[in-house]
Amino acid sequence: MSVKIPIYASLSSIGAYVPSRIVSNEDLSKIVETSDEWITKRTGIKERRFAEDNEATSDLATKAARIAIERAQIDISVIDAVVVATISPDFFCMPSTACVVANNLGIINKPAFDIAAACSGFIYLLSLAKSFIESQTYKNILIIGAEKISSILDMEDRSTCVLFGDGAGAAVIRATEDKSLSVLDVQCAANGQYQELLMTPGCGSRYPASAEILRERLQFIKMKGNETFKIAVKTLTKDVVEILQRNHLSKDEIDFFVPHQANLRIISAVGEALGFSSEKVALTVQKYGNTSAASIPMAINDLYESGKIKQGSKLLLDAFGGGLTWGSAILAFGCQ
């Protein structure tokens, strides 16, 4: 009787792309009533990237994906599925951004679809990929968090337009027999009770596109910042404690804590509550702003390109976003 060898999911490569256009706090102060001091004090953000008018979310995603695929040292033909997390898709409902990206890459006759979990999107993607790999449904999955948030920002609303930026992060999740280089655990959750705290209310089936909806600027992101902040800090901290306890790990066994890059005050509050030193906390919000589903893979990519993480490094990921959604993951970095 043959023994079935366990198969695990491994994050075997990472890649990211940011648009070339840098938008500083000073640039925004010329558009809305704000200042570098006001933005920096409340968010920690100094600048962000905005895509050009002719750049779509799929373009950012495709460029990040090419880097991840090259680093994975695999042929595009072996990719079994493409999944994109985004709240700023190329098209309202179809085709999916993943279909566009797959076509750009030359991936045909393979599943391609989007998910919408806002800033928690990449964690949700990891959960899906882990399930697909461990069930042996697929062997190689391309997951991408990509956003052109600037396309859904109200540039007359200083409470939101200063927070967000554009970018994309991609990873190849591959099957492995080496548990020491695997995605150890992922947990995701949501609570729609708080949906009105962070949402884009207009142009869906609830409030279809109309002259009135556009006049009221409901096609743009709306956020109740103070309420979201309080729930985010409490939820993120609790979520991390739970996943560490479930896996019988202490914070000292984590090489890097990679939180969603929404706001420096949230990152600092959660990091301090969990007892992580500043050296262990990935920080990119100051130069990219909040890139929603792209922020965690972009932050991992920054750690990788700076040489701070290597194969086997243990990462703890944590995110919170509109929905409200949240999630955390523990993984051993599989990229060489």
The single residue of 161, 260, 263, 301 carrying the catalytic annotation is 260
- What are 266's two structure tokens? 């949230």
- What are 67's two structure tokens? 């880097």
Spatial separation of the C-alpha atoms in residues 57 and 65, rounded to whole Å: 12
The single residue of 140, 263, 290, 301 carrying the catalytic annotation is 290
Active site residue 260: yes
Q: Are strands 81-85 and 112-115 parallel, antiparallel or unpaired?
A: parallel
CA dihedral angle for residue 179, residue 132, residue 104, residue 107, rounded to 10 degrees = 100
The single residue of 25, 99, 119, 140 carrying the catalytic annotation is 119
- 336 neighbors 136 (Cβ within 8 angstroms): no
- What are 271's two structure tokens? 């990091």
- 318 neighbors 244 (Cβ within 8 angstroms): no
Active site residue 290: yes
| CA angle 116–317–334, rounded 5-degree value | 105
CA distances to 248, 249, 271, 276, 278 from 252, rounded to whole Å, are: 12, 8, 13, 8, 13
Helices (H), the chain: 25-29, 36-43, 57-72, 97-105, 121-134, 158-161, 211-215, 225-246, 264-274, 285-288, 295-305
Q: 111 in the Ramachandran plot: left (φ > 0), alpha (ψ -120 to 50) or beta?
A: beta
Active site residue 119: yes
| Positions marked active-site | 119, 260, 290
